[in-house]
Structure 1
Amino acid sequence: MHIALHGSDVNLRQLKYFVRVVETANMTRAADDLRIAQPALGMQIKQLEEALGVVLLTRHSRGVSPTAAGAKLFQRAVQILDLVEIARQEVRDDARETIRFGLTPSLMQIIGPELLLLVSERAPRLAFSLNEEMSHLLVDSLHRAELDLILAYEVPDAPGFWKRALYQEDLVLVTAAGNADDAPITFSDALAGPLILPELRDGVRSLVEKTAAEHELGIRLEHEIRSISGIKTMITRGSAAGILPYGTVLAEVSAGTLFARPIVAPVLRRTLYLAGSRKAGQLASLPIIRDVVGSAMRTLSTAMAELGHPLSPAEPSQKA
């Protein structure tokens, strides 16, 4: 499809490329997301600017940002691409809708089966696939358009994506079964011993380090492990404790192989979001998915007891 402007042709591919560049604010990242070479992307943007007769992007050391004309085009381009997607769906009404849904390992364990069963009951024609990964990796996959919707913690604002806060969860100090103390522990005391923590980009690690810095406390990092199951295995062996979401160790605590102590003074609390792309916002089955997720939140709340805190429904925040 082409749109005639000033006697030249602007095509949907150029608009798609331009939107992704503005969303990422970085030509290299946009090229990676679009799976094209950066010089080819730059040429497409240049041709778009020539067709419109205006400069659309300002290049600077931190990346790129839209000019005043570019900002106007971004808004219109988003509308055009959304309308094209709606039209494509309308002419394929008989096609089976697909949703690629991501959630964290702890959520997969607690509510994953319920999500699958409820979706199959309420939307039997929907192809619903679940993908499990840590929150920051789910966000990466969402931004690369590899997932349509995610349930993840501490999702950052991003242009072209929306999010809705659903739940808050407290972190706990996790120790081996030999330590039967499950009484609350202060944050400073939790940091007194050696710790096993996730990798640097992980939201739990970021929250622990930020809170420690705010209270001028040091961290005795014994091991850094990307795998949640690996962290739990090392804690079970008694080499160090860990600071983790309670939902991550719920099964092990119930089985008595690990102990969890609530952290206080201060409490470490993170927020769970349902987040999606513009495309996901147009899915016919989205209202069903939101209802199913709401039911699953009630299950999560029951499992988490006093360590979980449901939030009142609110309108999704959007960056488009």
Structure 2
Amino acid sequence: MNLRQLKYFVRVIEAANMTRAADELRIAQPALGMQIKQLEEGLGVTLLTRHSRGVSPTAAGEKLFQRAIEILDLVELARREVRDDAREAVRFGLTPSLMQIIGPELLLRVSERAPQLSVSLTEEMSHLLVDSLHRAELDLILAYEVLDAPGFWKRALYQEDLVLVTATGYPDEAPITFAGALAHPLILPEPRDGVRSLVERTAAEHGLTIRLEHEVRSISGIKTLVARGSAAGILPYGTVLAEVAAGTLFVRPIMPALRRTLYLVGSRKAGQLAALPIIRDAVSAAMTTLSAAMVGLGHPLSAAEPPQNA
């Protein structure tokens, strides 16, 4: 048993799929399979159960997974402690709307209180941020509708309402029912996107049909098409703040409200950062700024809510 085998094994459990783990580790799947086989032979136990959906740990595999996390964390801690000249660094991912509204404030707050911390910010849609976190390309993310995953922790921070976005304004900006919103031809993100999933799930629950006019992966692309009158969109209010202020897009709240939840999600490495309490405080303060910008369409959650361990 060696550190490489433990690292590979942990990644397989977290990905729950050999092919996905091999892609994230950037090695060939047969080579990964061989490392896991050698680990099993060395220990004399079966660590994984293979099934049609991927893999899952056996009882012995679950025990090794927990110990392997502890071992790898200690190795990383020792590496940092013996490098006297090393600065702590964190790679932080935010969605496009969050980057625009709170990104600069978040970066400045953390830099002022933790000048020894090197922070890099990445902007991407939520499900792509999650992918990057799982590939160990990011340490922390602020993303919406994040599912539990082994080896990662998360904390619910905030809920944001979705709105109907159109190129034509309404005198009173009156709320519209979800059925009324679906009466419009719509431009929606790709199926993996959390907003798309929420709209489709709610439509299915109410037996409603979505009139999908276009599927666009880019939020800016969706907004441009909506502004041209091609179709309407259902988007979080935060993504269209600037356009609403400029009068190029118009919104109507959807009733009953469709809400998505924002999470702070971190890797094990992020959980060991000495500056993590400062980062969490800065994120909490940024939620106040975010809520103020949302004019009643954003809802901070209790700061006392404990983190959810995935």
TM-score (ref. length: structure 2): 0.97
Instruction: Tell me how far apart the structure 1 counterparts of residues 169 and 46 of structure 2 sit (CA, whole Å).
Output: 66
Q: Which amino acid aligns with 2:57?
A: P
Measured in 2, the distance between the counterparts of 1:243 and 1:58 equals: 41
**How far apart in 1 are the matches of 2:48 and 2:218?**
40
1:81 to 68, 72, 79: 72
Aligned equivalent of 2:236: 245
1:146 aligns to what SS in structure 2? coil
The residue that corresponds to 1:4 in the other structure is: none
For residues 296 and 73 of structure 1, what CA distance do their matches in structure 2 show?
39
SS in 2 for 1:305: coil
Q: Within 5 Å, give how 1:92-171 maps onto structure 2.
A: 92-171=83-162
- Distance of 1:51 and 1:165 partners within structure 2: 41
Are the counterparts in 2 of residues 177 and 256 from structure 1 also a CA contact under 8 Å?
Answer: no
The answer (yes or no) to whether the contact 2:157–2:263 under 8 Å persists in 1 is yes
* Residue of structure 1 equivalent to 2:259: 269
Letter in 1 for 2:264: L
**In 2: Cα distance, 1:71 partner to 1:113 partner:** 41
Q: Which residue in 1 is equivalent to 2:217?
A: 226
Q: Does 1:42 align with 2:33?
A: yes
Q: Which amino acid aligns with 2:300?
A: P
Deviation at residue 94 of structure 1 after TM alignment: 3.2
Task: Select 1:282's aligned residue among 272, 280, 283.
Answer: 272
Cross-structure match for 1:317: 308
Structure 1 pair 97–140 and aligned structure 2 pair: CA distance change class (3 A): same
Counterpart contact for 2:169–2:251, Cα < 8 Å = no
Q: Indicate yes or no: 2:58 matched with 1:67.
A: yes
User: 1:227 Cα deviation (Å)?
Assistant: 0.6
Q: Of residues 4, 14, 21 in structure 1, which corresponds to 2:5?
A: 14
Q: After superposition, give the CA deviation of every residue in 1:38-59 in whole Å (9 maximum; x if it has no partner).
A: 1111111111111111111122
Aligned length: 309
CA distance in 2, matches of 1:187, 1:104: 25
CA distance in 1, matches of 2:130, 2:87: 25
Provide Cα deviations, 1:107-132, integer angstroms capped at 9, x if missing partner: 11100111121122111221111100
Distance 1:257 1:180, change over 3 A: farther
Whether the 8 Å contact between 1:168 and 1:311 is mirrored in structure 2 is yes
Letter in 2 for 1:106: S
Q: CA deviation at 1:92?
A: 2.2
**Match of 1:292, as an amino acid?**
A
1:14-34 deviation per Cα after TM superposition (whole angstroms, max 9, x unaligned): 111111111112111111111
CA shift, 1:282, in A, is: 0.5
Amino acid at match of 2:194: G
Equivalent pair of 1:181/1:259 in contact (CA under 8 Å)? no
Is the CA contact (8 Å cut-off) linking 1:25 and 1:65 kept in structure 2?
A: yes
Q: Distance in 1 between matches of 2:28 and 2:144?
A: 32
**In 2, are the aligned partners of 1:138 and 1:152 still within 8 Å (CA)?**
yes
Instruction: Give the equivalent residue in structure 2 for 1:56.
Output: 47
In 1, Cα distance between the equivalents of 2:217 and 2:172?
A: 27
Helix, strand or coil at the partner of 1:115: helix
1:140-175 deviation line (CA, Å, top 9, x unaligned): 000000100000000000000010000000000011
Give the distance between the partners of 2:265 and 2:295, measured in 1 at CA.
Answer: 24
TM-superposition CA deviations, 1:242-285 (whole Å, max 9, x none): 10000000011111111111000x21000000001111100111
User: 1:17 and 1:239 mapped to 2: Cα distance?
Assistant: 48
Moved more, 196-205 or 173-182: 173-182
Is 1:175–1:259's contact at 8 Å kept on the other side of the alignment?
yes
How high is the sequence identity, in percent, across the aligned residues?
A: 83
For residue 180 of structure 1, report the CA deviation from its aligned partner. 4.8
Which SS does the other structure have where 1:301 is aligned?
helix
Instruction: Map residues 167-246 of structure 1 onto 2, 5 A cutoff.
Output: 167-177=158-168, 179-180=170-171, 182-246=173-237
The TM-score normalised by the length of structure 1 is 0.94
Unaligned runs of 5+ in 1: 1-9
